[in-house]
Amino acid sequence: MELIYFGIAAIALYVFSDFVLRRAESFAGRRFEQRSVIFFAILLGSALIVFALVRQFLPS
């Protein structure tokens, strides 16, 4: 069951990271040059937080 929660969280994080990146580009009024690096940083940061929360709230 834990695998399903992590899978759902990963899909949601991918969509969230794309949304945040597009909003940041829209706010800046241009496409960022290092778009993939920024996307990875957003995804990694949010994944570390969400996966820690999922592990904490799941029963051992």
Report domain extents, the chain.
2-57
Confidence of residue 24 (pLDDT cuts 50, 70, 90): very high
Joined tokens for residue 52? 């820690």
Distances (CA, A) of 31 to 34, 41, 45: 9, 16, 21
pTM: 0.85
* Cα(51)–Cα(46) distance, integer angstroms: 8
Joined tokens for residue 39: 């996307």
In this prediction, residue 36 carries a pLDDT of: 96
29 pLDDT higher than 90: yes
Distances (CA, A) of 52 to 5, 45, 55: 12, 11, 5
Q: At what angle do helices 35-57 and 2-28 cross, to 10 degrees?
A: 140
